[in-house]
Structure 1
Amino acid sequence: MARDYQQFPDDDNGNVLWQMYEDGDDLTEAHEIEFSLAFQSQENAEACALSLLKEEQKITLFQDEDTNEWFITIYVYMEPDYSDIVDLEDWFTKIATQYHGEYDGWGCMAYVYDDDLDEDTQPI
Structure 2
Amino acid sequence: MTRDFEQFPDDENGNVLWQMAEDGDDLTEAHEIEFSIAFQTQEQAEKCALYLLKEEQKISLFEDEEADTLEWVITIYVYMEPEYSDIIDIEEWFTKIAEQHGGEYDGWGCMAYVYDDEDFEEEIQS
TM over 0.5: yes
Deviation, 1:60, is 0.2
Structure-2 residue corresponding to 1:56: 56
Give the strand-richer structure, 1 or 2.
2
**How does the TM-score come out when normalised to structure 1?**
0.90
Structure-2 residue corresponding to 1:90: 92
The one-character-per-residue Cα deviations of 1:76-97 (angstroms, maximum 9, x if unpaired) are: 0000000000000000000000
Preserved CA contact (<8 Å) 1:26 1:112: no
How far, CA to CA, are the matches of 1:9 and 1:82 in structure 2? Answer: 8
Preserved CA contact (<8 Å) 1:8 1:18: yes
Q: Which amino acid aligns with 1:69?
A: E
Deviation, 1:113, is 4.1
Write out the 4+ residue segments of structure 1 that deviate beyond 6 Å after TM superposition: none
Q: Which amino acid aligns with 2:70?
A: N
Aligned residue pairs, count: 118
Preserved CA contact (<8 Å) 1:34 1:107: yes
The one-character-per-residue Cα deviations of 1:97-121 (angstroms, maximum 9, x if unpaired) are: 000100000000002346x88xxxx
Provide the secondary structure at the position in 2 that maps to 1:80. coil
How far, CA to CA, are the matches of 1:16 and 1:103 in structure 2? Answer: 17
The one-character-per-residue Cα deviations of 1:1-32 (angstroms, maximum 9, x if unpaired) are: 21000000000000000000000000000000
Deviation, 1:68, is 1.6
The one-character-per-residue Cα deviations of 1:43-68 (angstroms, maximum 9, x if unpaired) are: 11000000000000000000011332
Q: Which runs of 5+ in 2 are unaligned?
A: 121-126
Aligned identity (percent) is 79
Provide the secondary structure at the position in 2 that maps to 1:56. coil
Alignment RMSD:
1.4
Provide the secondary structure at the position in 1 that maps to 2:112. coil
Structure-2 residue corresponding to 1:120: none
Provide the secondary structure at the position in 2 that maps to 1:86. helix
Structure whose CA Rg is larger: 1
Alignment pair present for 1:76 and 2:78? yes
**How does the TM-score come out when normalised to structure 2?**
0.89
